[in-house]
Amino acid sequence: MIAIVLCFRQCTGVTQISECSREQLVDTNQLSLNIQSILPQLKSLQNNQEIRIKSLQKSYREHEQIVIEQMRQMINSMLGKSEKEHEQEELSLKIHLVVADFEKSALKEITNEVTFVKDSIARSITKCTRLQNDLSQLHDSIQKIGDNKELCFIACMKCEQKLQQALTDLGKAGNVFTVKGKSAHTVKISNDSHLCTITACCALQDGRVLVLDESNKKVKLVDQQYQVVSQCDVTAYPLDMCLTTSNEVAVAVDNIIDTHEIQFIEVNQHQLQTGRKLQFQHKCICVAHNQGDLFICSYTALYKYSLGGKLVSRLFVDPSGCAVSPIGDKLYIVDHFKHKLLTLASDGTVLATLTDPGLRGPSCVHVTPAGQVLVCGHKSRTIVQVDSKNSRKLITLATAMDDVWNPFSVCYSSTSSSFIVGQWRNNTILVIKVE
């Protein structure tokens, strides 16, 4: 950022730090202003996360009560039926089964998910608190260092790093990608009967990728060499997917008639395993997750649910795809038919709207862990990166010239520094390396 760049620009030809004047070396005033503006933002991020943990615990306790009440009623109804002595043994076996079932039930799965989400929020609170302390201390020491240029330079350098980290944590890094290369990989397997249509993809931390093959009604696991290594079938068309923990995804499965579900799938060492399922009255065409909140879109609304499936709120929009910013303060929604990208505050207020000739028929929006926003234009055959705040187009990352013929979905893998483009009826995914 500014200060360090300033030093090297102003001190061209100077090899020793001591040859620079303090003013040339670092713009301490600017640095101090930057710190003063970022500290309250970090504080509010921390407060936000503390509120999230509380609301997560509350919704979990409500869910737990419902499940326990259901079990109590079931046991009561069994007790009511038993009158004779010899039925007692059978009854005790039945109750044993109910309890065993309960232990394996969705409650346990949810408990694991909630623990995971809670731990990850707690970790980011710790990180955020530490960052605030470090920045305050560095701020103080820069003021006190006085004329010792070497020390001042080192302190400012550290400060720049911390500021950059803070911007990343706040989802404001604004890094623009540069494309480095591309490759195409087939995801068709021997028993697929249709051309694969990849409606969504998700990158795992170890570099593997999950893809949804809508035409063949499958979820496929792709390894680091982009070979399909495992698959599992779903009951209707898999339309969208998001990560809920580091090794679990929620898949929107719908047939537009009578199946409207969110199917949870876990990625084990080498296999995919279907888990619990949530069923809805409305269609489930896209899904996004952020710290225990599950966002599900029908064609006419965006619903916010808890992980247990309890409705929290509803917004009337026309979504074709949705995504949430890393800290949950912004929702991104694409409208395929009106060719636009909406940026909403978490209460639904429209913050920005993007329409651009280079982005027609958007089918998917994806947010990277650092908060960068990628949109897939199906009709314009483009992948564009959009500014996360004002929804301005930053750069067109790939076009039909790069074999993006029928793009339908996009996701970013930090592990392989590349984004993966899923295509419509093409059998291949494109992997575009970026920096």
Residues interacting with ligand NAG, by CB under 6 A? 189, 191, 195, 231, 403, 405, 426-428
- Chain centre to alpha carbon of residue 15: 45
**With respect to ligand NAG, which residue has the nearer C-beta, 75 or 229?**
229
Report whether 355 contacts 342 (CB < 8 A): no
Q: Which residues contact 416 (CB under 8 A, 6 or more apart)?
A: 203, 207, 224, 431, 433
Nearest partner of 197 among 220, 176, 174, judged by Cα: 220
Q: How far is the CB of 184 from ligand NAG (least distance, A)?
A: 7
Q: How far is CA 408 from CA 54, 138, 371, 373, 415, in A?
A: 37, 46, 21, 16, 22
**Distance (Å, rounded) from C-alpha 138 to C-alpha 162?**
9
**With respect to ligand NAG, which residue has the nearer C-beta, 196 or 262?**
196
**With respect to ligand NAG, which residue has the nearer C-beta, 157 or 195?**
195
**With respect to ligand NAG, which residue has the nearer C-beta, 318 or 403?**
403
Q: How far is the CB of 182 from ligand NAG (least distance, A)?
A: 10
Q: How far is the CB of 219 from ligand NAG (least distance, A)?
A: 12
**Distance (Å, rounded) from C-alpha 250 to C-alpha 233?**
14
Q: How far is the CB of 312 from ligand NAG (least distance, A)?
A: 37
- Chain centre to alpha carbon of residue 301: 20
- Looking only at the bridges linking them, the beta strands covering 340-345 and 330-335 are antiparallel
Q: How far is the CB of 294 from ligand NAG (least distance, A)?
A: 29
**With respect to ligand NAG, which residue has the nearer C-beta, 80 or 401?**
401
Name the residue number minimizing CB distance to ligand NAG.
403
**With respect to ligand NAG, which residue has the nearer C-beta, 195 or 315?**
195
Q: How far is CA 78 from CA 65, 66, 72, 83, 107, in A?
A: 20, 19, 10, 10, 22
**With respect to ligand NAG, which residue has the nearer C-beta, 14 or 195?**
195
**Distance (Å, rounded) from C-alpha 435 to C-alpha 418?**
8
Q: How far is the CB of 326 from ligand NAG (least distance, A)?
A: 31
Q: How far is the CB of 410 from ligand NAG (least distance, A)?
A: 15
